[in-house]
Amino acid sequence: MRAVYTFSLMTLHMLFRRRTLWGILLVILIALAGIASVPSFDVSNQGRFVLDFGLFGIELGSLLLALGLAANLYPRDKETRTLMPLVAVPLSRWQYLLGRFFGAAIVQAAALLVTCLGLMLILLFHKLPVPGDLLPATLLIIVEGWFLLSTVFFFSFFASPPLNWPLTTMLFIVSQMSVSEFTGLLPSAPGLMRVLRMILPHADVFHIKDPIAHGFSIEPVYFLIAVFYGLCYSAFMLSLALAVFRGRDLK
Amino acid sequence: MADMHPIQVTELSKQFPRKRKLGSIHAVSDISFNVKQGEIVGFIGHNGAGKTTTIKCILGLLKPSEGSISLWGNAPADSRVRKRLGYIPENPDYDNSFTPMEYLNMFASMRGLSGTWNDWKKLLSRVGLARWETTGIKQFSKGMKQRMSLAIALQSNPDLLVLDEPTGGLDPIARKEFREIILEENTRGASVFLSSHILSDVETICHRAVILSGGRLVAENSMEKLLGEENLYRITVISRKDGTEVEEIIPEADLQSRIDSLRRDNIRIIRVEAAIKSLEEVFLAATGGGEPQ
């Protein structure tokens, strides 16, 4: 695991030194600045509104970060031939994949936590209540972000970055749909759609912004099960990614 | 044991599917050769002959379509084997956001090596990057990246060096330094598999050469045998017909009798010299002119 740890650190350094991360963070900060301006309008339940908007921004940020950080990692390594000396000698393919994943996952989590902190400061600045479950809600979004990240890695082994973006976004949208919404996409085959919906990820389990905005607290058991589900699905997507990567010739 | 050679390639074939067409491209067809312990083996062939494909199969980056490859009797993907390997890829590139020292530190950690800053400093100095240890790779030329590759390849004191066109971007002085390092590594005990277009490099440092043409092995032998086992001599005489110089190459055993016969016929001998065959001549003869097939 030492090789994976070192390669994760190497990925971490590389991502911090690239402009992509800062570009995405800039977008999130602009979004936060937009949220910060909400309390200046005369909106009823301003606190709920800001919280709802803020958590939605963090969730969207997790998708943007996953795509921005990972969609180009493997294709770029391959194109610039930086992959060859790595995979030929010190690293196995699974070590390469895990190293890149963990590096990107740490950067993504850090960026989302910073955004959460920004949201907290906005709430405090406007003397609005900061719910105790804001951090667990952000943690669940981080787990969702890791699932999205593993999905981006999976697609990146056979799809170019411009194709990876719509594929991951589509899966992100589908994963938010309820069974009835999903079945409605193809009403002529409800059975098939129900089975498909069961197999496809349920990212809706990570969204607790509505209960939090309405002042409900989250059961620790629910939180733990949702985290476990997210980690299992991420591991499953990474296994699929590794199966594709192992089968590929590195020309 | 034959199986314990650092590299054993047996009946290797590699095909790639054609894009948007039926059928496949045969990059390498049914080649077999080995690299023995302590040998420096040159791997030569024209562009597209299948050299890089073979090397990538040896390193496990490509899966052979047929045949097998073993490194010290193990599969190329075996982690024990990879620890004993140093590799310089063709046209190497590295992430621009790092410095050579950072790269060496990270590679050392990934390989489980326990070197210090001073060790890597000495290594960079050995490959000619002493003053560039903390300069971003972004500023490196192609030749400097190749030196960097050499440093990474040598970092673990490998038992086998696989070098794919390592001197392509180097100037003559750097090439000489590079050859010296390869010979030093060989003296240390490392086996070397060197793919190169620069035939003079192969001729100078290799014990044996494997020649590839159109994905097929067309010649393989020790350098002495490839360049001619017996001593040959070139006799230059003046033609009695038109007065031009005519050359004749004959084996050492026939030299005296041929000179006597020329003298008897009153043919003027201009020069008698050792005729040394170059690897280039051997290569051109073996590959039918060296044109891609």
Beta carbons of B150 and B88 less than 8 angstroms apart: yes
Query: Are residues B82 and A14, on separate chains, in Cβ contact within 8 Å?
Result: no
C-alpha distances (whole Å) from B100 to each of B124, B130, B132, B135, B150 are: 8, 10, 7, 7, 11
Pick the more confident residue, A207 or B9.
B9
Query: Are residues B56 and A3, on separate chains, in Cβ contact within 8 Å?
Result: no
Contacts of A3 in chain B (CB under 8 A): 109-112
Residue B241: CB atoms within 10 A of its CB come to 7
For the record, the structure tokens of A133 come out as 């479950």
Query: Are residues B112 and A3, on separate chains, in Cβ contact within 8 Å?
Result: yes
Query: What is the arithmetic mean of pLDDT over A118-146?
Result: 87
Sign of the Cα torsion B85, B86, B91, B93 reads positive
Share above pLDDT 70 across residues of chain A, in percent, rounded to a whole number: 96
Beta carbons of A134 and A116 less than 8 angstroms apart: yes
Contacts of A92 in chain B (CB under 8 A): 77, 79
When CB atoms are compared, the residue of A7, A17, A88 closest to B61 is: A88
Query: Are residues B94 and A82, on separate chains, in Cβ contact within 8 Å?
Result: yes
DSSP 3-state of B11? strand
Beta carbons of A58 and A105 less than 8 angstroms apart: no
Q: pLDDT at position B2, please?
A: 46
- Read off the pLDDT of residues A42-101 as tens digits, 9 standing for 90 and up: 556 777 778 888 888 888 888 988 998 888 889 988 888 888 888 887 788 999 999 999
Contacts of A6 in chain B (CB under 8 A): 106, 109-110
Q: How far apart are CA A72 and CA A130, in angstroms?
A: 37
Beta carbons of B64 and B31 less than 8 angstroms apart: no
Query: What is the arithmetic mean of pLDDT over A210-237?
Result: 87
To the nearest 10°, the Cα dihedral for A171, A175, A178, A180? 30
In this complex, is the C-beta atom of B59 within 8 Å of any C-beta atom belonging to chain A?
Answer: yes
Name the closest residue on chain A to residue B86, using Cα atoms. A89
Query: Are residues A82 and B110, on separate chains, in Cβ contact within 8 Å?
Result: no
When CB atoms are compared, the residue of B61, B82, B107 closest to A84 is: B61
For the record, the structure tokens of A98 come out as 């895990």
DSSP 3-state of B20? coil
Beta carbons of B218 and B287 less than 8 angstroms apart: yes
Q: How far apart are CA A78 and CA A85, in angstroms?
A: 11
Residue B41: name the closest of B207, B226, B199, B211 by CA: B207
**Average pLDDT, consecutive stretches of 10 residues, N- to C-terminus, chain B (293 residues):** 79 85 83 94 90 93 92 88 89 85 90 86 91 86 89 92 87 89 94 90 90 88 75 82 82 86 88 78 70 47
A vs B, Cβ pairs < 8 A, gives: 73
Query: Are residues B56 and A14, on separate chains, in Cβ contact within 8 Å?
Result: no
Nearest Cα of chain B lies from the Cα of A236 at a distance, in angstroms, of 24
**Is it the case that residue A238 has pLDDT exceeding 70?**
yes
Beta carbons of B129 and B78 less than 8 angstroms apart: no
Instruction: Check: pTM over 0.80? Answer yes or no.
Output: yes
Question: Is the complex ipTM higher than 0.85?
Answer: no
Q: pLDDT at position A44, please?
A: 61
Beta carbons of A45 and A15 less than 8 angstroms apart: no
Query: Residue A190: which residues within 8 A CB-CB, separation 6 or more?
Result: A183
